[in-house]
Structure 1
Amino acid sequence: MSDSFKDIAIVACGTLSPELKRLQEEGFLDTEYLYFTKPGLHQNVQELEKQLRNQVAKAKEKTDKVIVVYGGKFCYVNADEPTKTMQNIIESLGDGVRRIQATHCMDMIAGEEERAQIADELAGGELVWWMTPGWVKFRHQVFDGWDQALANENFPRHSGGAIVLDGIGFMDEYMTEKPEEFLEYCDWMGIPMQSNPGNLDRLKSLLLEQKQLLDHE
């Protein structure tokens, strides 16, 4: 069976665009059809759903197979309609649309067991605030509306600090080119930030899993 994505469109949260664009550059994602919603829409689920539906509709104009790159459990939490889930939305988008099986973007780069191992090694098993490069690159969109009080309420209890699951070598470049911005980000969070260099193997396998299911439909 071919591993080609030529006849498949990818619709993803913009927070994960650095990784997906890298896979496209490397030739793994050999599709022309990459569509992104705005980063950070987990804070505005109505807008998230609207943009997701619009991008899937655009994708379906190009091909009848679409893989949605969004987490299930944490990316869509609707306080007004608690029974409505990301899975409900995906099912309502019709045939030929599948979502990769991960809880959020961090889980797409490193699974739960691997994250526990990383936390043990880098943070002595303490509570960690996990991020991907998109959480750094698109900081002001991901944390739109957050003031210092909200930051103080959320970050400092993560005594293991922030760990960026970096499968694309983003953080080395960022810390070299923008050291003041990096330090200011850490100050704003009130916790240290470190990088865990890795790869995109898990993301590739999650994409291939849904591609194979689409090919058999």
Structure 2
Amino acid sequence: MANSISFGDYAIVACGTMIPELNYLKETGFLDVQAIYTAPGLHQVPDELENQLQKQLEIAKKSAKKIIVVYGGKYCYINIRNPYRTIDTVIEEMREEGYYIARTEVENCLDMLATVDERETLAEGQKVWFCTPGWLKYRDMVFKGWDKANANENFPQYTGGGIMLDPIGFFNDYAMEHVEEILDFSDWASIPLEGRTVGLDRLKNVLISAMAEEDRL
């Protein structure tokens, strides 16, 4: 990883679930640019995701000619009415001459923090529900409209429980200050939730890979 890499010429438009990690990268000096966000949990409402993404991209264009969209491609935007319309289609419509716009080449936010193989290693052969810090911190938005019946339909199949991929020490800090919220979530989901430390190299490399080729050198 090149030490001289700078994101200063870029704007970053990201899903709000990634706020904890991207803020951490800014605070620790890796990111030298502010990110602007769409609301967390919009994978459930693709029309609103599309509207917010377009709006934030227009804002980003006013400050930079190069933009990185921090979103997954497979699960973050699913348009049931038009399956051929993808998040990349939305982004492509926002491209214009003189601008570089690229999306992080991952399937979802989990993939930004740990590869499929790494998640399988953490699961140790069990069926595990994985999440990121943003899924817990913004759970009221991520699971907006869900009731206990929805939880019962989805979570009990994960007989290995839940694992938070945590590259920033979020889970332990959150457990000290909001342990009742973690317990409430586990009770609602009917599975235990634990944090597992993962490194930040995966996320850093995902961001670097989305840069224009000349900026990665």
Q: TM range, normalised to the smaller chain?
A: over 0.9
The match for 2:192 is 192
Greater displacement, 86-95 / 40-49: 86-95
Q: Aligned to 1:107, which of 84, 108, 111?
A: 111
The match for 1:21 is 23
Cα distance in 1 between the residues matched to 2:42 and 2:53: 10
Q: How does 1:112-191 map to 2 (within 5 A)?
A: 112-120=116-124, 125-191=125-191
Cα distance in 2 between the residues matched to 1:158 and 1:90: 34
TM-score (ref. length: structure 2)? 0.94
SS in 2 for 1:62: coil
Structure 2, unaligned stretches of length 5 or more? Answer: none
Q: Report if aligned partners of 2:5, 2:215 keep a CA contact under 8 Å in 1.
A: no
1:63 partnered with 2:80: no
The match for 2:80 is 79
Q: Report if aligned partners of 1:40, 1:142 keep a CA contact under 8 Å in 2.
A: yes
Q: How does 1:87-102 map to 2 (within 5 A)?
A: 87-94=88-95, 95-102=99-106
Q: 1:98 to 1:214 in 2, by over 3 A?
A: farther
The match for 2:37 is 36
Q: Aligned to 2:7, which of 5, 8, 12?
A: 5
Cα distance in 2 between the residues matched to 1:90 and 1:200: 26
Q: Which amino acid counterpart does residue 133 of structure 1 have in structure 2?
A: P
Cα distance in 2 between the residues matched to 1:3 and 1:205: 11
Q: CA deviation at 1:214?
A: 6.8
Q: Report if aligned partners of 1:70, 1:100 keep a CA contact under 8 Å in 2.
A: yes
Q: Report if aligned partners of 2:100, 2:212 keep a CA contact under 8 Å in 1.
A: no
Deviation readout 1:90-122 (Å, 9 max, x if unpaired): 2222041100110000100001111111111xx
Greater displacement, 194-203 / 47-56: 194-203
Structure 1, unaligned stretches of length 5 or more? Answer: none
Deviation readout 1:109-167 (Å, 9 max, x if unpaired): 001111111111xxxx1111110000010010000000000000000001111110000
Deviation readout 1:68-93 (Å, 9 max, x if unpaired): 00000000011011111112112222
Q: 1:183 to 1:171 in 2, by over 3 A?
A: same
SS in 1 for 2:5: coil
Q: Report if aligned partners of 1:98, 1:214 keep a CA contact under 8 Å in 2.
A: no
Q: CA deviation at 1:200?
A: 1.4
TM-score (ref. length: structure 1)? 0.94
Q: 1:76 to 1:214 in 2, by over 3 A?
A: farther
SS in 1 for 2:68: strand
Q: CA RMSD in A?
A: 1.3
SS in 2 for 1:29: coil
Aligned residues: 211
Q: CA deviation at 1:212?
A: 3.7
